[in-house]
């Protein structure tokens, strides 16, 4: 069972993401970020690369795409909140986006 992050784990694993454009989601134990790309194809290519990692790790984002923007929310449904998988995937998304 995937465990929800403790307070000290959040400082270590989530705070760096918050410092890199992620934000806590109101009303949910989740983080979100909007990625903006040069165009739709770049945005969709990011989603394609991210999907491969999400499937590899069996941990999937909640996301939507409008033209060159991709809105991403990360939380762990099995834990009903943030887990280490969200931190790992969030960092990977930043890397894939070139952030």
Contact residues for ligand H2B, defined by CB under 6 A = 58-60, 76-78
Q: Which is nearer to ligand H2B, 23 or 41 (CB)?
A: 23
Question: Toward ligand H2B, which CB reaches closer, 4 or 68?
Answer: 4
Least Å distance, CB 78 to ligand H2B, is 3
CA–CA distance, 12 with 67 (Å, rounded to integer): 34
Q: Do 17 and 31 meet the contact criterion of CB atoms below 8 Å apart?
A: yes
Taking the complex as a whole, the smallest distance from the CB of residue 51 to ligand H2B amounts, in Å, to: 12
Helix (H) or strand (E) holding 75: none
**HSE on the CB side for 73, CA within 13 Å?**
14
**Beta carbon of residue 86, minimum distance to ligand H2B (angstroms, whole number):** 7
């Amino acid at each position: 069972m995937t465990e929800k992050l403790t307070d000290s784990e959040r400082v270590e694993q989530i705070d760096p993401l918050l410092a890199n454009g992620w934000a806590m989601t109101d009303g949910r134990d989740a983080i979100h970020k909007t990625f903006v790309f040069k165009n739709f194809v770049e945005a969709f290519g990011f989603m394609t690369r991210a999907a491969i990692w999400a499937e590899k790790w069996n941990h999937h984002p909640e996301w939507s795409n409008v033209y060159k923007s991709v809105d991403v929310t990360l939380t762990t449904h099995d834990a009903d909140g943030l887990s280490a998988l969200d931190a790992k995937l969030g960092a990977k998304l930043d890397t894939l986006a070139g952030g």
